Structure 1
Amino acid sequence: MKVTLFGATGTTGKYLIDEALKRGIDVTVFARSSSSFENAKVKIVRGELTDNALLREAVSGSDAVVSALGPTKLRHPKDLPITRATEAIISAMKQVHVQRLIAISTGMAVDPGDRFDWKIRLPATLIKYLMRSCYNDILALAKVIRASGLDWTMVRVAFLRNDPAIGHLNVGLYGVSRHSLAVNREDLARFMFDQITERRYIHQAPGISTK
């Protein structure tokens, strides 16, 4: 099996790469030209997320694309960089006929089936007013993925921790399933890679959290 990872040079990316290698998956990591990322166990394609030829190279032949792209700075640009990057990735996937996309999202990107959950809604409201650019990018990202025509799954999380995997997760829509405010990155990585062959959550956006 071959998987292409985006956003894998960040904190969560380490856990995604480790999980993929444990499963014997052939991994391609797309890293920005300015990134110092190195890993002898994976193929690295370096470039910008606007370079269609390099994006096609990175995703060609993959069974799935796993994206951990998301805002990483408090002062997030206003021009929706994560959304625009994901649009470019989706375009490249379609050109080389890769259909499966698993992407990280958050509770700010409300699903039509969600019900009110103050534990999620309160932080989302604070971010909406205090970090408007991040909020807008996350919402636009979800909209683009839903409209992509791909076999997508958005895995929605709140706060991420570096603790070891627990293996028991709350999974489901917010306000419908019971959720805590955190999940361990190792558990997140396991869940995301499970979705490559799991059909249950295609065209769905489950929230996951630690029990």
Structure 2
Amino acid sequence: MPRLLILGSTGPSGLELVRAALKDIPDAQLVLYVRSPQKLSEEIKSNPSITIVEGTLEDTAAVERALEGVDAVLSALGPVGASHPKDTPIAKFYSRLLKQMRERGIKRFLVLGTASAPDPEHDRFSIGHKAMVLAVYMLMYGSYKEFYTLGEILRGPEAEDIDWTMVRVPYLSQEDRTDTVAGYVGDGKVGLKLARKGFAKFMVDELKNRQWVRKMPEVSNA
């Protein structure tokens, strides 16, 4: 049975990711690494398939405990709003995490991203995506810088032996739908909105199907 470490599970997207993993991989054991376990529902905390490890992004010893026996890491971590710091604490955490994963031989890493992390090889011009990225750059620069830096990390030597997938998302909604289409910015297929349930299902499906290894798909509702 696979043992999966899930990051960001107290947020709305992370919670959907936990639910999707429990539903679509019923034999999985989930490890939730959280700063505030009290934010988790009793339904989650009492589930026998779930182990909770408390820690912060800076607590490398706690991360080591969370990684024990893990087969893959799935992350729904994301910056929150305009007040997010500009010194990229999440990207720095990912840099340390990738090193710890390599030391333990954990190769699979699926992570939430946005079009703020461009894919120069595959992306094309899209006025809608360009406007969204520009708005984030102007109004939430800390958030923009996090995802841009994460893209640089994944394409660089720190992740050269990691089977990563960055699931880039547009505007996330609370709609009750899981239909998705995946492609690249400006390809005429992907749109500007994605339900969080769709994000979660896509990430879990990608874990099983491995269609986007070492790629940065942009995902939207179909």
1:4 equivalenced with 2:15 (yes/no): no
Matches within 5 A, 1:1-211: 1-22=2-23, 23-24=25-26, 25-32=28-35, 34-38=36-40, 39-41=45-47, 42-112=50-120, 113-147=122-156, 148-149=159-160, 150-167=162-179, 169-211=180-222
1:101: how far off?
0.3
For residues 19 and 199 of structure 1, what CA distance do their matches in structure 2 show?
A: 17
For residues 68 and 104 of structure 2, what CA distance do their matches in structure 1 show?
A: 6
Q: In 2, are the aligned partners of 1:56 and 1:93 still within 8 Å (CA)?
A: no
Q: In 2, are the aligned partners of 1:31 and 1:37 still within 8 Å (CA)?
A: no
For residues 30 and 134 of structure 2, what CA distance do their matches in structure 1 show?
A: 37
| TM-score under structure 1 length normalisation | 0.93
- Say which SS state the counterpart of residue 194 (structure 1) adopts: helix
1:59: how far off?
1.8
- CA deviations on 1:47-91 (whole Å, 9 max, x unpaired) are 122222221221222221001111112211121111111112212
* Structure with a larger share of its residues in helix: 2
Kindly provide the amino acid, as one letter, of the partner of residue 193 in structure 1: V
Unaligned runs of 5+ in 2: none
The RMSD of aligned alpha carbons is 1.4
1:170: how far off?
1.9
Kindly provide the amino acid, as one letter, of the partner of residue 58 in structure 1: A
Kindly provide the amino acid, as one letter, of the partner of residue 31 in structure 1: V
Number of corresponding residues: 209
